[in-house]
Every structure is written in structure tokens, then in C-alpha cells.
Amino acid sequence: MIIGLGMDVAEVDRFKFSPDQLARFARKVFTTEEMTHAMRHRHFAERLAGAFAAKEATRKAFGHAIPWRQVGVRHERSGKPYVALSGGAERLTALRGVSRMHLTISHSRSNAVATVILEADELVAAPLPRAVGAGVAR
């Protein structure tokens, strides 16, 4: 059963950075694997926009913010993309009862779009979300 759905569109022009801007933005948002994948392509801004859209779509599917670098976009040998959660975000799939995550990314010269579907084998009552990786405030 589908328990989460997220979709996002990113403008490719927003990811055409100078080398300095790219380095700063990458440190805040993208994983090493995402940067390596994007930079292997001539039109790397399209790949970065796609990865960003996938991160946003994942956050929307879970229904709250997740630190950017804890949502990774990786690729199977076939090229099929998938979401890889890390750090505190790794526990989200178990907390929400997610058994499968589906990701699709498409892009043109001007836009990239991504959709994420979260599936569960059975409905699990999910606790109210709190910021992933945040300490408990009392």
C-alpha cells in the first residue's frame, strides 16, 4: 500500500554554478556520490537539478524536512536511480513501516522532475515527526 508520495520540479538554470558556488552548494546539499555522478556528464546541471528534485520529493513523501545530505540519490548499474538514506534519516523507513521506496527522475534542458513513492506491506501507526538528527528539547 502507498503510504507516501512526493514530487518536485527543479529549474536546471538554478544549478549552473561557478566553480566556487558549486563547491559551496555541494557541501551543503549533495553527497559525494551525487557530485561524482553529475560531473561525469557534459550537462551536469541537469543531473544536479534531478538529484535536488529527488531529495525534495523524498522529503515530501515522508512529510517533513530531512537534512539534505542524509537523502542520497544513487544509481544501479542499469542507471535506475534509488534513494539511499543515511545518518539519522536511516531510521525513518522502520519508523514509518516503509518496505519499498520508488524513485523516478526525468529532465530536459530546462527542468528536472522527480517522484518518490513510499510503500508499506501493512499500515503502521507512525509517530509524529520531529527533526531528523535533532536532539530532544526539554
d(CA 68, CA 59): 9
Residue 73 has pLDDT above 60, yes or no: yes
d(CA 27, CA 44): 16
Please state, rounded to an integer, the average pLDDT across all residues of the chain: 90
Per-residue pLDDT of 14-23, as tens digits, reads: 999 998 999 9
Q: In what order do the strands lie in the sheet with 111-119?
A: 2-11, 111-119, 100-107
Mean pLDDT of 9-30: 94
Give the model's pLDDT for residue 126. Answer: 57
Query: Which range in 18-27, 99-108, 122-131 is most confidently predicted, on average pLDDT?
Result: 99-108
Q: What is the pTM of this model?
A: 0.86
Q: Can you say how many angstroms the Cα of residue 33 is from the centroid of all Cα atoms in its chain?
A: 12
Task: Enumerate domains of the chain plus CATH numbers.
Answer: 2-119 (3.90.470.20)
In this prediction, residue 86 has a pLDDT band, given cuts at 50, 70 and 90, of very high
Residue 98 in grid coordinates:
516503509
